[in-house]
């Protein structure tokens, strides 16, 4: 005799743990996206969203100027005969400028968490370059972050838990329900792949310059592949997500 009212299967402990982990990760990613101005529920133009994600003029200056100062100082102090440059001066000016930006944020009582983290990373990279005496080692931290972020996006897409989907699901109040929607899963999959490809492209182009020891070219390419590539990716992501979650008519 069959049971006409079978009892629901108990949830596996692993399923509950995975759900809690995805909820926590989604909340963290969603909060970060909201602070960066990437809330799909907000009424904002694509240009406004991209500009806010870049941090406005202050964010652009903080992202570009330290690296630009390093490259210019390195290039201007290169010895034509030996090819050596004034590494301590180049690093000192770059880190010093990053410290000034961080101090200004602290004095203005603005959000300085990212700036402080960036300053610590910049200082650590500079310390490593001073220790080895090789200017190209100042870029190792950037390689590490690109590898970590790229791997995270790639793995999340391949296992069906896109980081983009987790963040958007939290922001839109649907948790992980998007995973039951084939269209959303497909879009979030390709968005995660696109971000992973961006980080991989940076490594593919910049690592050969690192191993060749061409510091000026490496620094220049890093700037070119920074915000100029980040901004379009933010725009594409924003437009794709808004297509999945169109604004509700009032």
CB 29 within 8 A of CB 167: yes
What pLDDT does residue 248 have?
64
CB 71 within 8 A of CB 113: no
How many domains does one find in the chain?
1
The verdict on residue 15 lying in a domain is: no
The verdict on residue 240 lying in a domain is: yes
What pLDDT does residue 89 have?
96
The predicted-structure confidence for 210-239, as pLDDT tens digits, reads as follows 999 999 999 999 999 999 999 999 999 999
Lowest mean pLDDT among 29-33, 51-55, 73-77, 119-123: 29-33
Lowest mean pLDDT among 39-43, 174-178, 205-209, 244-248: 39-43
- pTM given for the model: 0.85
Alpha-carbon span 207 to 104, nearest angstrom: 34
The verdict on residue 50 lying in a domain is: yes
- Mean pLDDT along residues 142-166: 95
- HEC assignment per residue over the chain: CCCCCCCCCCCCHHHHHHHHHHHHHHHHHHHHHHHCCCCCCCCCCHHHHHHHHCCHHHHHHHHHHHHHHHHHHHHHCCCCCCCCCCHHHHHHHHHHHHHHHHHHHHHCCCCCHHHHHHHHHHHHHHHHHHHHCCHHHHHHHHHHHHHHHHHHHHHHHHCCCCHHHHHHHHHCCCCCHHHHCHHHHHHHHHHHHHHHHHHHHHHHHHHHHHHHCCHHHHHHHHHHCCHHHHHHHHHHHHHHHHHHCCCCCC
The predicted-structure confidence for 8-25, as pLDDT tens digits, reads as follows 444 444 456 666 677 777
Nearest to 222 by CA among 201, 248, 245: 201
Percent of residues, the chain, with pLDDT higher than 70: 87
What pLDDT does residue 19 have?
61
Alpha-carbon span 36 to 56, nearest angstrom: 11
Q: Which domain holds residue 110?
A: 21-31+43-244
CB 102 within 8 A of CB 115: yes
Is the pLDDT reported for residue 159 higher than 50?
Answer: yes
What pLDDT does residue 9 have?
44
Alpha-carbon span 136 to 216, nearest angstrom: 9
Lowest mean pLDDT among 39-48, 144-153, 155-164, 166-175: 39-48
What pLDDT does residue 3 have?
46
Alpha-carbon span 179 to 165, nearest angstrom: 8
Is the pLDDT reported for residue 250 higher than 70?
Answer: no
* pLDDT band at 149; cut points 50, 70, 90: very high
What pLDDT does residue 66 have?
92
Q: Which residues, 6+ apart, have CB-to-CB distance to 133 below 8 Å?
A: 87
Nearest to 129 by CA among 139, 119, 121: 139
The verdict on residue 9 lying in a domain is: no
The verdict on residue 249 lying in a domain is: no
The verdict on residue 116 lying in a domain is: yes
Work out whether the CA dihedral 193, 197, 200, 202 comes out positive or negative: negative
- Mean pLDDT along residues 188-210: 97
Expressed in angstroms, the distance from the first to the final Cα of the chain is 55
What pLDDT does residue 122 have?
87
């Amino acid at each position: 005799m069959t049971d006409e009212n079978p009892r629901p299967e108990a949830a596996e402990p692993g399923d509950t743990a995975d759900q809690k982990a995805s909820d926590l990760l989604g909340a963290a990613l969603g909060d970060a996206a909201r602070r960066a101005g990437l809330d799909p529920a907000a009424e904002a133009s694509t240009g406004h969203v991209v500009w806010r994600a870049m941090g406005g003029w202050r964010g652009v200056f903080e992202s570009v100027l330290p690296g630009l100062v390093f490259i210019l100082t390195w290039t201007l102090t290169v010895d034509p005969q030996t090819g050596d440059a004034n590494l301590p001066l180049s690093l000192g000016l770059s880190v010093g400028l990053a410290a000034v930006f961080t101090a200004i944020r602290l004095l203005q009582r603005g959000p300085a968490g990212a700036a402080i983290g960036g300053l610590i990373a910049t200082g650590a990279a500079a310390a490593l370059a001073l220790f080895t005496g090789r200017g190209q080692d100042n870029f190792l931290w950037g390689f590490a972050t690109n590898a970590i972020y790229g791997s995270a996006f790639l793995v999340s897409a391949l296992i069906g838990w896109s980081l983009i989907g987790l963040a958007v699901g939290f922001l839109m109040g649907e948790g992980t329900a998007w995973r039951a929607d084939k269209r959303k899963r497909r879009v979030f999959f390709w968005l995660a792949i696109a971000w992973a490809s961006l980080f991989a492209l940076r490594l593919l182009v910049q690592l050969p310059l690192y191993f060749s020891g061409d510091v000026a070219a490496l620094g220049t390419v890093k700037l070119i592949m920074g915000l100029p590539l980040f901004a379009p990716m933010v725009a594409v992501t924003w437009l794709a997500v808004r297509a999945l979650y169109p604004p509700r008519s009032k």
